[in-house]
């Protein structure tokens, strides 16, 4: 055990003392923390919706970034302020003619233009239409209301009373007894992506570390004085701890900084960073478990090759499985009660993200979480033992990459 501690400490310090590791951790944590404190120094009211210098509705559009021109051929749109009520972020102005409107749109002097031909017909002009352009939808609503007003006027009907009768104010008191999937979606999405990146990045680092010891012949010296099982477990666990330290520092800095400045942000980032404690606990348990599971596999894959450039050949299948699990989990976030994510939440190759997603987005029985975690822990032990045997078998084998099937055959023979 003493030798294990020495090896573990040595491997861990190799990560922690690495300049790129330290610089990356400090810079990302520092930048993230500074961003969370931005509202203390800069007024972001226009972004959060809590602008201290709110203007009245009468002046909305006066200082807008864009202008929309309207030319009325029909003679029905007499009050331009009527249209302005529908466009809060744009200034509505009248055009003297259709040609003037088209010319200004072509010259990009205005964002868009409407030519009203009749109560039920209009032309829309825009130079470069964005993917989020909703001007036509809004103007169609304008024309619909205008038609209703004209109809009421012709038939002696009070438009205000009619509108109130057909569109009464409905008060809804929302009571969510379970999970708010809409609010929880984004932080769940982000955490699934984080654990995916951690597994891929640090798993590859562990595999590379193992392979480098073979390529520079350091392994030949190590195996003569230390048991290969101790080497394997110490190396893998050191990489895991280094990854957890870095991730905890960066993620912890973001969450703590946001908690301190949550009121300043006006709750704007709650859907991403206001994560319940129970969800964070499940994420930590299953995230660490899934990371260890795959890190042991990566370590074994690194022992199957003698050159670092061959690692992708050896670990390609593992990365493919991780990618498939990642996309299945993301696709299932909108249906966490589906059979697909329920099954994957019990499989050790996918429970690290699938079970966490179910806990964050849906309703899960306690026994399901416990059973899934037990399966994951048991799988980590099994994979660790098998990985150690592959590591022992492949340590002194050089040359072409060893096929996984041949590695298992060799293990059985021994």
Q: Encode pLDDT of 120-143 as tens digits.
A: 899 999 988 888 788 889 899 889
Q: How far apart are the first and last CA of the chain?
A: 25
pLDDT at 57: 44
Q: Return mean pLDDT, the chain.
A: 79
d(Cα 143, Cα 341) in Å, to the nearest integer? 46
pLDDT at 89: 79
Confidence of residue 312 (pLDDT cuts 50, 70, 90): confident
Contact criterion met (CB below 8 Å) for 70 and 97: no
- Nearby residues of 195 by Cβ (< 8 Å), 6 or more positions away: 283, 287, 290, 291, 352, 353, 356
pLDDT in tens, 319-336: 899 999 989 988 888 888
- Sheet of strand 121-125: strand arrangement: 90-94, 66-72, 112-118, 121-125
Contact criterion met (CB below 8 Å) for 112 and 125: yes
pLDDT in tens, 18-63: 888 888 888 988 888 888 888 777 766 555 555 444 444 444 444 4
d(Cα 282, Cα 293) in Å, to the nearest integer? 16
pLDDT in tens, 140-163: 988 988 888 888 888 888 888 888
Across the range 375-396, mean pLDDT stands at 83
Q: What is the DSSP string of 91-123?
A: EEEE-S-HHHHHHHHHTTSSSEEEEEEETTEEE
pLDDT at 370: 93
pLDDT: which is higher, 325 or 188: 325
pLDDT at 306: 67
pLDDT: which is higher, 285 or 240: 285
Whether 271 shows a pLDDT value over 70: the answer reads: no
d(Cα 252, Cα 32) in Å, to the nearest integer? 10
Burial 350-366 (b: 16+ CB within 10 A, else e): bbbbbbbbbbbbbebee
pLDDT: which is higher, 128 or 303: 128
Each domain of the chain, given as residue ranges in start order, spans 66-163, 180-413
Whether 372 shows a pLDDT value over 90: the answer reads: yes
Find residue 67's DSSP bridge partners: 91
Percentage with pLDDT > 70 across the chain: 80
pLDDT at 375: 95
d(Cα 186, Cα 194) in Å, to the nearest integer? 12
Burial 23-34 (b: 16+ CB within 10 A, else e): eebeebbeebbe
Whether 302 shows a pLDDT value over 60: the answer reads: yes
Contact criterion met (CB below 8 Å) for 307 and 295: no
Whether 252 shows a pLDDT value over 70: the answer reads: yes
Across the range 190-204, mean pLDDT stands at 85
CATH 3.30.70 describes domain 66-163? no
User: Distances in Å between the alpha carbon of 350 and those of 12, 181, 188, 293, 373?
Assistant: 27, 21, 15, 10, 11
DSSP 75: S
Across the range 213-235, mean pLDDT stands at 65
pLDDT: which is higher, 184 or 259: 259
pLDDT at 348: 92
């Amino acid at each position: 055990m003493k030798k294990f501690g020495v090896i573990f400490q040595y491997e861990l310090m190799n990560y922690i003392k690495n300049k790129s590791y330290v610089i990356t951790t400090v810079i990302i944590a520092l930048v993230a923390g500074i961003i969370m404190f931005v509202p203390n120094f800069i007024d972001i009211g226009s972004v959060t919706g809590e602008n201290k210098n709110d203007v009245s509705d009468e002046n909305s559009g006066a200082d807008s970034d864009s202008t929309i021109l309207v030319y009325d051929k029909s003679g029905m749109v007499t009050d331009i302020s009527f249209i302005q009520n529908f466009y809060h972020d744009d200034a509505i102005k009248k055009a003297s003619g259709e040609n003037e409107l088209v010319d200004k749109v072509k010259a990009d002097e205005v964002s868009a233009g409407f030519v009203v031909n009749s109560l039920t017909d209009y032309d829309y002009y825009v130079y470069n239409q964005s993917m989020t352009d909703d001007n036509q939808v809004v103007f169609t609503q304008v024309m619909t209301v205008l038609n209703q007003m004209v109809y009421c006027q012709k038939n002696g009907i009070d438009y205000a009373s009619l509108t109130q009768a057909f569109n009464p104010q409905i008060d809804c008191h929302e009571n969510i007894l379970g999970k708010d999937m809409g609010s929880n979606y984004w932080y769940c999405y982000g955490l699934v992506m984080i654990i995916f990146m951690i597994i891929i990045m640090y798993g590859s680092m562990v595999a590379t570390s193992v392979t480098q010891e073979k390529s520079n012949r350091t392994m030949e010296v190590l195996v003569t004085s230390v048991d290969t099982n101790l080497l394997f477990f110490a190396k893998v666990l050191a990489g895991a701890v280094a990854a957890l330290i870095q991730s905890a520092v960066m993620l912890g800095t973001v969450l703590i900084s946001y908690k301190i400045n949550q009121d300043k942000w006006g709750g704007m980032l709650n859907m991403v960073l206001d994560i319940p404690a129970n969800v964070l606990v499940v994420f930590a348990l299953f995230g660490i478990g899934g990371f260890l599971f795959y890190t042991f596999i990566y370590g074994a894959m690194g022992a199957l090759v003698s050159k670092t450039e061959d690692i992708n050949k050896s670990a390609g299948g593992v990365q493919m499985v991780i990618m498939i699990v990642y996309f299945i989990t993301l696709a299932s976030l909108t249906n966490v009660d589906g059979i697909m994510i329920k099954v994957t939440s019990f499989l050790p190759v996918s429970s690290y993200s699938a079970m966490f997603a179910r806990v964050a987005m849906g309703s899960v029985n306690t026994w399901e979480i416990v059973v899934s975690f037990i399966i994951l822990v048991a799988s980590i032990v099994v994979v660790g033992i098998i990985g150690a045997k592959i590591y022992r078998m492949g340590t002194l084998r050089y040359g072409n990459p060893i096929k996984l099937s041949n590695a298992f055959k060799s293990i059985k023979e021994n």
